[in-house]
Amino acid sequence: MTNQIKVFLSGLAVASIVGCTAKGDNPGLEYAPQMYHSVPYEPLTQIKDESAGNIISNRTDGKGEFYNSNTNNPYAQNVRKPVEGTVRRNPNDILPYRLGKDDIEAAAQIENPFPDTPEIQAEGKRLYDQFCAHCHGANGKADGKVAPVYAGVPSYTAPAQRNLSQGHVYHVITWGIRRMGAHGSQMSSDKRWKIARYVQKLQQQ
């Protein structure tokens, strides 16, 4: 009898462990679900079933533990528009770029927020090689492989290009100019400023 009990308990332990194992879409048994499912609104989840998680719920509003839709929103959505007048910032504390395509003269007055350091230059070169060298050439001499196909690619050392400000370069990268397409949707503001910093170095060669 003792051996049968041992076998039974061993089988029960194995079954319990297997039953709690997470696999695929099954998260496994949650021993403390209140620690996994936050009552506050979460913008990346949307559970509208008010009875979801009723069995384990200890909420005072009578709803299930997993219910997290926004009752203050007419569509029960958690994602809300930013407060009017607020400004989204990025990790480098750079304000959003508001100048339009035709505001190139105003753009020329803007200073590059990134300092001229070896690290910024190295990252600017990496990005330049990735996004710009195929037209402008590795050294900014307008000798990239694509340049012969699209005539008119300027050299950064040409008199009309040598003294262009980094704000001007940033604006052109953002909006494009003449045959050059806009790249504002293809790279972040930080990357565009770092490329502009590296272009300044090419202008001086």
Q: Look at residue 168 and tell me if it is in a domain.
A: yes
Regarding whether 199 and 150 lie in a shared domain, the answer is yes
Residue 30 and residue 65 in contact, taking contact as beta carbons nearer than 8 Å: no
Name the one residue in this structure whose structure tokens are 């049968």: 4
Q: Which two tokens stand for residue 137?
A: 């050439």
Predicted confidence (pLDDT) per residue in 78-106, tens digit: 777 777 888 777 777 777 778 788 887 88
In single-letter form, the type of residue at position 70 comes to: N
Domain range enclosing 76: 27-80
pLDDT-based confidence at residue 1 (cuts at 50, 70, 90): low
Mean pLDDT of 165-177: 85
> Where are any strands of DSSP class E within 80-134?
none
**Domain stop point among 43, 64, 80:** 80
Decide if pLDDT at 112 tops 80: yes
State how many domains the chain has.
2
Could you tell me if 108 and 171 are in contact, meaning their C-beta atoms sit under 8 angstroms apart? Answer: yes
Residue 189 backbone phi and psi in degrees, to 5 = -60, -40
- Do 169 and 113 have their domain in common? yes
